[in-house]
Structure 1
Amino acid sequence: MPESSPTSPKRRGRLFRFSAAFFVLLAVTGYLVVQYVTGGTRAPGCKVISSEGGESPYEFTPEQAVNAATIAAVGTGRGMPERAVTIALATALQESGLRNIEHGDRDSLGLFQQRPSQGWGTEKQIMDPTYSAGIFYEHLAKVPDYTQLPLTVAAQRVQRSGFPEAYAKHEPDAELLAAALTGQAAATLTCQGRPATGTSAEAAATGPDAVRAALVRDFGRDALQEAGAEVSGTTAADPSPNMTAEAHGRTVTVPVPDGKKTDGAGRTERERGWQLAHWAVANSSALHIARVSYEGRVWAAGSTDSQWRATGTTGAAGAEKSAGSVRIVTGQ
């Protein structure tokens, strides 16, 4: 019987390359799966389209959606116009990619890369998206005629960045986001609504109480108090985040009076309603929101295309058709 020949160097080389390629592919697949499940920086999940259909959609992650919705809510809560929200969103897109990061140049932190050493607040304050957005708007409001300035100029007078022209490339995406998240463009923001995972406090706190607490956090107490928001049919006279909802209820109702009355920033009540509806969809993963309805349209988590659809005219769906309230149904 002839002796078996040893494996040739050429064959060993092929086996090594095949094995290396296999493990690289396995590692990349594992990374993408983790990113998809956890809502990481490259995970798909949310999309904003143009109401006129002419611009490319902007796709972003559930984490980015929550932060963008907070920035918009804080701005409108302060009576800032849509242009201010666009400037803030473009700034956060450039500075952090709409992620609340704990690092940056020197001591820069958070969504806007604000520096404690430069008087923007403590590290804890800056890492609070509501605070960081608020302090950004506070500085922006002091810029004379900022709504008439080019976006790069307005942002730079707040940020004092070493790369002021970098803000310009984010203006189209920021405009799409601002139109949706201030309610100017109806039914233009959708998310897949995957349940959030992990151990963060935001992901863990779900249900009607958590939704109301988040509304108060982003819009301020007046956002619920003036509207007389309801949780599981119980009117909330005091919009305290600690109010206990009925155990069997999973619905938060925020009344939006019919009509065309405008607020201090010139927004109609209908636009306010769509802002609240889009805010809820943006927070759907973090707060386990299963369904949002307003003005005869409904969005449901887990649908194949995550689109806003017309509600029915009878039964439970018909009850959601009223334009007079935004209904947010949680999954817990």
Structure 2
Amino acid sequence: MTTTRGSGTTSRGPTVVGCAVVGLIAVVLCSIIATIVTQLAHRSEELAPVLPDEGCMVSLDSGFTTTLTWEQAHNAAIIVGESIRRGLPARAATIALVTAYQESGLRNLDHGDRDSVGLFQQRPSQGWGTVEQIMDPWYSSGAFYTELVKIDGWESGVINDVAQTVQRSGFPQAYAQHEDKGRAWASALNGYDPATVTCFDTTAPGASVTVLTNFFEAIWDDAVTSEVDATGSLRVTTPDETKAWAVAQLSMLLGRQAGMTGVAVGNQTWTRSDTEYAIWQAAAQPSASSVVINLRP
């Protein structure tokens, strides 16, 4: 019997060429999308502000500028504060800051050469105190000043050499490189260079007024008084304008812990910025010996 083939056509799947075309189109589309996404990302980076490193800065009229991290700022405030508490001149704070810059980078280290620890890398085995004591920045700063004032001519001697006499370091000339930084901070934080400190912080901790009031009491006892007013600001009364500036600029170095948003002293006011190191501006209501510190709610 003769079999007759049907005249209908048979359906076939995609050809190899067709698959290749579809694949090529997909690759091209993915490439285009990736390029667009990359360009948009780069554009966003270009438009986004480049924020400075957080911390505090001192800028003198001479043009000299130097910065501290918040960790360093906290320690610098204590070092200078202890010198003020002891009634020492700003030069003492300069020498101490220069020393701490060299020994620890103004960080409270729990390690060092042999048994050295702390801001000044003091050694328990050499009679500086216990590890626990030396790791307290107030104690270690005080221990440094106790030895400093025993040195004949420390008030007028070469800062590097005076620091070396206290420390007896294996690098006796290393302190000199930090003199400009130490002198700038010591002068500003003692109130001798008004409106030269500014800080930058993007965090938003709550206010802690006791951070400041405890600090003031430790340094000045009852020579400086403070109270929180109806607006929540801390008002500090000082005996003179120099101390007012010391209060203001030392407070700024504790600003992150205290939740500080601004400060007014004399004829100047400073307000925290979210994007830059803010500059001091003229105050609407000048007050020579009163400091107003604004804190977060």
User: Which range, TM-score by smaller chain?
Assistant: 0.7 to 0.9
The Cα of 1:124 is off from its aligned counterpart by 1.6
Alignment of 1:31-46 (within 5 A): 43-46=53-56
User: Is 1:308 paired with 2:277?
Assistant: no
TM-score normalized with structure 2 length = 0.78
Are the counterparts in 2 of residues 208 and 250 from structure 1 also a CA contact under 8 Å? Answer: no
Q: Which residue of the other structure, out of 83, 89, 105, is the alignment partner of 1:97?
A: 105
Tell me which residue corresponds to 2:292: 327
1:68-115, Cα deviation, whole Å (9 max, x unpaired) = 111111112211111111110000000111111111111111111111
User: Is 1:281 paired with 2:278?
Assistant: no
Structure 2: gaps (5+ residues): 1-15, 21-50
The Cα of 1:250 is off from its aligned counterpart by 2.7
Structure 1 residues 179 and 122, CA, compared in 2 at 3 Å: closer, same or farther?
A: same
Are the counterparts in 1 of residues 188 and 249 from structure 2 also a CA contact under 8 Å? Answer: yes
Instruction: Give the % identical residues.
Output: 39
TM-score normalized with structure 1 length = 0.70
Are the counterparts in 2 of residues 100 and 129 from structure 1 also a CA contact under 8 Å? Answer: yes
The Cα of 1:43 is off from its aligned counterpart by 4.1
User: Is 1:231 paired with 2:241?
Assistant: no
Q: Distance in 2 between the 1:177 and 1:210 partners?
A: 21
Alignment of 1:1-332 (within 5 A): 43-50=53-60, 52-55=61-64, 57-195=65-203, 206-217=207-218, 219=219, 223-227=220-224, 229-233=225-229, 250-257=232-239, 269-302=240-273, 304-312=276-284, 318=285, 321-332=286-297
Are the counterparts in 1 of residues 213 and 226 from structure 2 also a CA contact under 8 Å? Answer: no
The Cα of 1:296 is off from its aligned counterpart by 1.7
Q: Distance in 1 between the 2:161 and 2:115 partners?
A: 24
1:280-309, Cα deviation, whole Å (9 max, x unpaired) = 111111221111110021111225341111
Structure 1 residues 166 and 85, CA, compared in 2 at 3 Å: closer, same or farther?
A: same
Structure 2 residue identity aligned to 1:100: N
1:207-245, Cα deviation, whole Å (9 max, x unpaired) = 22232123234x1xxx14123x13224xxxxxxxxxxxx
Are the counterparts in 1 of residues 269 and 283 from structure 2 also a CA contact under 8 Å? Answer: yes
The Cα of 1:122 is off from its aligned counterpart by 1.6
Tell me which residue corresponds to 1:31: none
Are the counterparts in 2 of residues 94 and 167 from structure 1 also a CA contact under 8 Å? Answer: yes
Are the counterparts in 2 of residues 193 and 289 from structure 1 also a CA contact under 8 Å? Answer: no
Q: Distance in 1 between the 2:238 and 2:222 partners?
A: 12
Q: Distance in 2 between the 1:101 and 1:175 partners?
A: 23
Q: Distance in 2 between the 1:209 and 1:150 partners?
A: 38
Are the counterparts in 2 of residues 292 and 298 from structure 1 also a CA contact under 8 Å? Answer: yes
Q: Distance in 1 between the 2:246 and 2:93 partners?
A: 12
Q: Secondary structure at 2:261's aligned position in 1?
A: strand
- Paired residue total: 249
Q: Deviating runs (4+, > 3 A) in structure 1?
A: 193-197
Are the counterparts in 2 of residues 69 and 282 from structure 1 also a CA contact under 8 Å? Answer: yes
Q: Distance in 1 between the 2:189 and 2:255 partners?
A: 14
Structure 2 residue identity aligned to 1:225: D
Choose between structure 1 and 2: higher strand proportion. Answer: 2
Q: Distance in 1 between the 2:106 and 2:216 partners?
A: 19
Are the counterparts in 2 of residues 208 and 251 from structure 1 also a CA contact under 8 Å? Answer: no
